[in-house]
Amino acid sequence: MNIIIALIIFSFIIIFHELGHFLLAKKNGICVEEFCLGLGPTLIGKQFGETFYSLKLFPFGGACMMRGEDMYSDDDRAFNNKSVPARISVVFAGPFFNFILAFLLSVILIGIIGTDIPVISGVDSDSPAYEAGVRAGDEIIKIDGSRVHNFREISYYLYLEKPNQPFEIEYKRDGKTMTSTVTPKYDKETSRYRIGIKSSGYVKLNPLKTVQYSVYEVRCQIKITLLSLKELVTGKLGVNEVSGPVGIVSMIGDTYTEARSYGFLMVFVSMLNLTILLSANLGVMNLLPIPALDGGRLVFLIIEGIRGKAMDVEIEGNIHYAGLILLLGLMVLVMIKDIRTLLISFLQ
């Protein structure tokens, strides 16, 4: 059951991503030769008009294959014969649709459970926050000049950005804006640095606020992904903390198992939350300037726009192919790590 739920979530996110490419390709008069879910050999497929719709053997990934995308074509409807702005819009549409999906699902999620506004319900008397003058009822506005809309952002910031360093916190009390400097303290019980504040929990919002905080939710997920990538590049996060498809399936399974005992609504909300996280994450990752990813293709298009001349289609295709091989190799290594972690956990 865990694997089936994970596949449904993955498939939903990927189809929405590829739908972005598909719709913008059609809008710009580009011939889409195949629209598929998965990778590898075709299991089933059917031709509708000019497009072949298919399901592949391996349920990870998907593609919107356009004429003239990776090889030269003299067809007027080929991808390579369209203007640079048209091609940029098609490539960017995939990640953008992931952000749209995350937003739409956030509207549903926040409409059901509300959101964790950054209002403090309590402060530990011996905590760094209390020593800095922060009190219950204060509303956190900014951390180190960065706007805060959700209580979770404070925790993520502490974990990823300033786990053991002083930072400036700006908050409102009785309509007045106040600023303090807080230095996190290591907590042996949780094995984390903390400042000793408690959340007021989730608050239901009116429809307009629900839409507004759905935008904040997507912003929060994008910010977390970017912070995590920064920590990974700088070495503050290790490769062992990166999860591939196997690790994500395991995470989804653990979340489902834990939520199931609380009933259907908790399962639905938990899976919705994970889908938002994964969709926003996929959008950001696809915009990275790496060959084979949408971000890599955007780099080539921007260079073409500046130079006024396209790179040889075959050379660019080979670069993207090499990038794809490297990405698949990295995925295999991460998958091996995930399997090893699961086996160790199972044996213990």
Any domain includes 12: yes
Residues 106 and 192 in one domain: no
Residues 96 and 135 in one domain: no
Of 184, 201, 218, the position where a domain reaches its end is 201
* Strand stretches in 148-284, DSSP E: 167-173, 176-182, 185-187, 192-194, 197-199
Q: What is the pLDDT of residues 206-239, one digit of tens each?
A: 999 999 999 999 998 998 888 878 777 776 665 5
The residues assigned a catalytic role are: 18
pLDDT for 99 equals 97
Across 70-79, 95-104, 335-344, which has the greatest mean pLDDT? 95-104
Number of domains in the chain: 2
* 148 vs 231: CA distance, rounded Å: 20
Helix (H, G, I), strand (E, B) or coil at 97: helix
Q: What is the pLDDT of residues 182-209, one digit of tens each?
A: 888 887 877 778 888 998 889 999 999 9
Structure-block tokens of residue 265: 């609504």
* 1 vs 17: CA distance, rounded Å: 24
Residues 280 and 319 in one domain: yes
Any domain includes 129: yes
Asked whether the predicted pLDDT for residue 78 surpasses 70, the reply is yes
- Count of CB atoms situated within 10 Å of the CB of 286: 21
Residues 145 and 170 in one domain: yes
* 313 vs 318: CA distance, rounded Å: 9
Asked whether the predicted pLDDT for residue 346 surpasses 80, the reply is no
Any domain includes 218: no
Any domain includes 103: yes
pLDDT for 242 equals 61
Of 201, 221, 248, the position where a domain reaches its end is 201
Helix (H) or strand (E) holding 128: helix 128-131
Q: What is the pLDDT of residues 144-179, one digit of tens each?
A: 888 999 998 888 777 766 667 888 999 999 889 999
Residues 89 and 148 in one domain: no
* 162 vs 222: CA distance, rounded Å: 18
What percentage of the chain has pLDDT greater than the value 90? 49
Helix (H, G, I), strand (E, B) or coil at 111: helix
pLDDT for 318 equals 82
Q: What pTM did the predictor assign?
A: 0.86
What does the pLDDT average to over 47-51? 93
- The distance from CA 50 to its chain's CA centroid, rounded to whole angstroms, is 32
Domain CATH number, residue 141: 2.30.42.10
Domain region containing 140: 116-201
Any domain includes 277: yes
What does the pLDDT average to over 7-26? 92
Q: What is the pLDDT of residues 131-147, one digit of tens each?
A: 999 999 999 999 888 89
Q: What is the DSSP string of 265-314?
A: HHHHHHHHHHHHHHHHHHHHHHTSS-TTSHHHHHHHHHHHHHHTSPPPHH
Q: Mean pLDDT across the chain, nearest whole number?
A: 86
What does the pLDDT average to over 31-54? 92
